[in-house]
Amino acid sequence: MSKTARLTRVVRFGDAKPDLPRNTLFHAGPPYAGEPPQAVRNTALQAAVIGGLAADTATAARLLDEGALRLAPAQDVDLVVPLAQVVTPSMWCFEVSDGTHTTYAPISEGPPPALRFGSDDPVCVARARDWCATVAEAFNPLLAQRPLDPHALMRAALEEGDDCHARTMAGNERLLAALPGLPEALVTEIRANAGFVLCLWMAWSAWKVRADGGALAAIGGNGQQFGIRLRGEAGWRTVDAPPPVGVYFQPDQAPQSLGAIGDSAVVDACGFGGQALRHAPALLEEWAAVLPADAATRPATILNPQTGVIDLDRIAASGTPPIINLAILHRNGAGAPIGRGHYCPPAALFKRGEESK
């Protein structure tokens, strides 16, 4: 098992990876075979404006349609993005590293309306540019003195009822407590966005998959397909992605659901989220009618006992897939999710003998 990784800084993604093509927009899950869902397109256009690649979303739409801007999977460049979010090189990210492996995830710019939900609200642009820069300015001097161990904070949050994916309130507080000296106004704003800490958990989980994932190199959904990428392979193995099963805030919107989406599946792949529901009684109660009967015991069947990461051979042999906790988005995007629940990819996806698609 590898040593632990630390949150080392908040950095613009392109500054950390200066060789990235400037005209590329990075999305969750496997590559798109054709056009992305409208929710992702909304965010791609916003991201192009945030990144200075277009003056406005109309220009961004033209550039995307002409091929002057291109979409690519975030996990292929050591980045993980939540839900429908799209990241450009100029956007601010958490950096998690052990000195050998380094991974990134974007700073969540705020509560709804937010990019991760596919919002086309212009307020997201200002938040992602200005507020996230404020986070970097406040966090970096503290992290320079003492980099943080996300895994230690995640383990502590589990003891307080989080699963570290669908439920993150305790983790948010743990993060704030670990960074004494943050401006009071910023603390208040982070507390108002209980999901702020999730992208830090995602960055650590992406590192964990890279360092200790065995054959697994990437896992996530793009709203149309869900897939995994195996170590040493360039292509993704994919299946069509239905919407997550769960609880809708407005049941009449269920027919408008987007398929499973997000790189946050890395959290569940590392033994948290859907594999940690026994630590989150509030979620077990809320989702009692929709969860698999073995939700609390499934982890023992599919996790590698040495690393805590899902084991592809165990999944394939047992026919038991991981539970991936996910928000449910409107297929056309919205300011907020329309529900939340879980997605279980078919166990056959994890069979290593199959050829990638």
Residue 156: phi and psi, rounded to 5, are -65, -40
| CA 26 to chain CA mean position, Å | 12
The amino acid at residue 336 is A
Instruction: Determine the Cα–Cα distance for residues 196 and 190; give it in Å rounded to an integer.
Output: 6
pLDDT at 354: 54
pLDDT in tens, 209-239: 999 999 999 999 999 999 999 999 999 999 9
The strand pairing partners of 326, in sequence order, are 341
What six digits make up the tokens of 52? 């200075």
Which residue's structure tokens are 């948290």? 272
For residue 357, what pLDDT is reported? 43
pLDDT at 356: 43
How far apart (Å, rounded) are the C-alpha atoms in residues 133 and 129? 6
The answer to whether the beta carbons of residues 26 and 74 sit under 8 Å apart is yes
Could you give the CA distance from residue 289 to residue 283 in angstroms, rounded to a whole number?
Answer: 11
Strands 24-27 and 70-73: parallel
pLDDT computed for residue 352 by the predictor = 84
Taking the CA atoms of residue 325, residue 301, residue 318 and residue 323 in that order, the dihedral angle to the nearest 10 degrees is 0
**DSSP for residue 168:** -
Chain segment 295-348, per-residue pLDDT in tens: 999 999 999 999 999 999 999 999 999 999 999 999 999 999 999 999 999 999
Between CA 337 and CA 333 the distance in angstroms is 8
Check whether the bond before 73 is cis (ω within 30° of 0): no
Domain assignments of the chain as residue spans, ordered by start: 226-350
Secondary structure element (H or E) that encloses residue 202, with its range? helix 198-212
pLDDT at residue number 70: 98
pLDDT of residue 309: 98
Q: Are 91 and 12 in contact (CB under 8 A)?
A: yes
Q: How far is CA 184 from the centre of its chain?
A: 27
Question: Residue 72: how many CB atoms within 10 A of its CB?
Answer: 16
299 Cβ neighbours under 8 A, 6+ residues apart: 271, 275, 276, 278
For residues 200 and 105, the answer to whether their CB atoms sit within 8 Å is yes
The residues of the chain scoring below 50 in pLDDT are: 1, 356-357
Please state, in angstroms and rounded to a whole number, the distance separating the CA atoms of residues 259 and 127: 27
The CATH architecture to which 226-350 belongs is Alpha-Beta Complex (3.90)
d(Cα 202, Cα 199) in Å, to the nearest integer? 5
**DSSP structure class, residue 308:** -
What ranges make up the beta strands (E) of the chain? 6-12, 24-27, 70-73, 92-97, 102-106, 216-222, 225-230, 237-240, 245-248, 261-262, 324-328, 339-343
Residue in the structure block whose two tokens are 């040493």: 232
Among all chains, which residue has been given the structure tokens 């910023």? Answer: 186
